[in-house]
Structure 1
Amino acid sequence: MDSVSGFGSDRIDLDENVSAPDEDGGVADTQIEVGTDERRMHVRAYNHWVSLLGGRPYPSIADLNPANIADFGPHSVLLDFSAGIENPAIAYLGKALRAECSLDSSTTHIAQVPSRSLLSRLTDHYLQIIANRAPIGFEAEFVSTRGFNTMYRGILMPFSSDEDSIDFIYGVINWKELVDAEAQAKLDAEIAAAVRTTPSTVVTAPVWADGPSAGRDVERLDEADETERDDDAIAPAGASLREQLALARDSATAVRTADTRSRSTLYRALSRAHTFAAAADADPEAYETLLDMAGIAVQLRAPMTPIVKLVFGVEHDKTRLTEYAAVLAYARRIGVAAGALRAFLDTFEGGIKGVVKAERLARAPLAKVRPDPRALLAERPTLASVALETASSSGHYVVLLARVRDGEMLDIVATMADDSTLIERAMRCATT
């Protein structure tokens, strides 16, 4: 399963900033202001799409020529839905993307795209365009068919041949491969060794930039190599809340730079986030300062959400952040000790998913028990008694339909004893 994550300081959340439909179902002609950070290929692609709108809900496909776009054309694909959405044709496939996926000219439709190729990461999202009728941006990482852990960012944009229906989608994707786990481990060991021999210094960057391991306004911790100490080690005695946050962020970064499918790495990061949450409870003023600097709001109904945003980053996948917050909330609910969450998750049936389910059940309000209407009606006084033939047994209920006469008499015109749903509804109405 792909795990969604950010790329660092040049990230922009296109799901929130791009997909802004106007009243006609399209997108307003507003370009993204990216300042000095115009390296972002997907943002430039979006701005190009906006430049082609011309006041229309969608740009005309006649105005698009991917082969002439030197900037991002080689990283793009054009899907043709004119023959249906079940298996769109590939009208254009950029040279760089074709080479990355090892595809030749025989690949002409989506159904022929290998499931674990980079192109499939982009085409998997095309139905969202049909549903949202606006550009969709996304970023994640996955293990490719060659076995490389690959981080990618992309955008899909709708085009039309009649200015009304979406029958073409143009996608642009950029990517980079991470080093393998063995090389990463060697690199981590070399960095750790260098840190141990380097005098402590003070880093003056803000406590939060754009990622879990960005600049930190804390004194560097003189730590041993991660692999040589306890996985759930906590900050040294007397460590500030910022230092504890730094330690938790280190583990969160490992979730993204190591094999992201590693359960133990994620459990360790959650355990340290849990430890940081306990430290934040003990130092609310420092915690509030960290939230202010990161631009994160306190959520009274979800107090652990700001914690996981600080540790894993606000750009992390929202679904994952919600799950992580539920895990920390349940750990607090049942009193899991600081530093013990990893062991707890290892033994909890279902792991993270099981804990999330348990937390949701614990938060769910108890269903209101409705009294039996028959018992309530049995205590009601009789308003009137009439003699009518009925096939129902004594004690059963029937519904009588009556017509008012002279404002005080009721003429019964029908009796209903076979419609149990109607009878049940009438009994509940009479007792509420």
Structure 2
Amino acid sequence: MDGSFSSSSLSADVESTPADLGIGNDERRMHVRAYNYWASLLGGREFPSIEDLDGRDVQDFADHSVLLDFTVSPDNPATSYIGAAIRAECEIEDEVRSIADVPSRSLLSRLTDHYLQIIANRAPIGFEAEFTNQRGHDICYRGILMPFSSDGQTIDFIYGVINWKDGAGLAPSIVPALAGEDDVLDLVEAIDPLDDEVAPTLDADAGLADRLSAARETVEVLKAADGRTRAALYRALSLAYDFSVAARRVPEDYAELLEDAGVKAQARAPMTPIVKLVFGVDYDKARLTEFAAALAFAERSDVPFEGFLDFIEQHSGGLKGLVAAEREARRPDNRVDNRADQARTKLRTAHAQSLSALAGNDEFTLVLVRRDAQGRVEPVSAVADLGLLEKALRKIA
């Protein structure tokens, strides 16, 4: 991050206003204070160090905060800390120890659902929306997630702050601008079926610029959300897919459109510039990522020109199913790693050593012990990796 992110931008990407959601200045200031604290720890780095996150400095919003720890599992981060106010609202105690344990219809899930956006954008994310909680109450919430790192490069901790109010009596359908996958995709799947009225007319020999214009026209219908959100979204994605197919046929024209829009081509993610051109570079980044994933899976599946609508309608789960399928397709093969088993075999026959011999001259040493067949505990090896030592110390803290 270049340091240009400012507290005023916390709500820059949010479609709903405080008046819409019933969240006032006190709650808004809480998130500004949280962001300002995060920014104060940067010190010219891309991310603050997790070592600098001091509980004494965040007492103002600690009860409304969560700390996610990715060092144990990048796919299922641990909920190292959950504030008392969040626990009370979500009616949870110590049973929630990781993301997988978070109740799906709880306020906590509204916060944790956004963590992939942090990984993708490598910058703080602010969001606000309305949802119905586990007690059937309409809750309006505002939150912010901020990345932390243990090595200055990897996002292995995320600190989040969220505040909320009972939104009884508010309009039932306020679309979150920075919503998680379930919020956005469940909403668009639930609205009207496809409606041909939202489809601009295109000649068979339409040029690339005309196809882009038609796709953008449908996006305007989508933004208006005139009772046809799902129809407009599917049509816009269909036109975006056809645009991508046409772009491969005339790469020079496509390159010119990218240059005019100030969008860069991405060899490793070719559908990302496509959706930026169609939906706009300022469109919600999380949704752009999902749209690009859906188009990428269609391409992976060899969907023909003008075949996207049938493809998404027939695919299990619709848009959400396409996104999940593409993410699964990108997942690297699980490789068998036998090193841990080899180490266990070796350490079973290793000679026991004294703790003084293993400790060396350092103040702290991470020591591996073995329990033999008689139940005796014996030190057998010292772990020299300072990174593992630091993680162990943080776990103890």
Smaller-chain TM-score bracket: 0.3 to 0.5
Rg (Cα) greater in structure:
1
Q: Give the alignment's TM-score, normalised by structure 1.
A: 0.42
Bigger helix fraction? 2
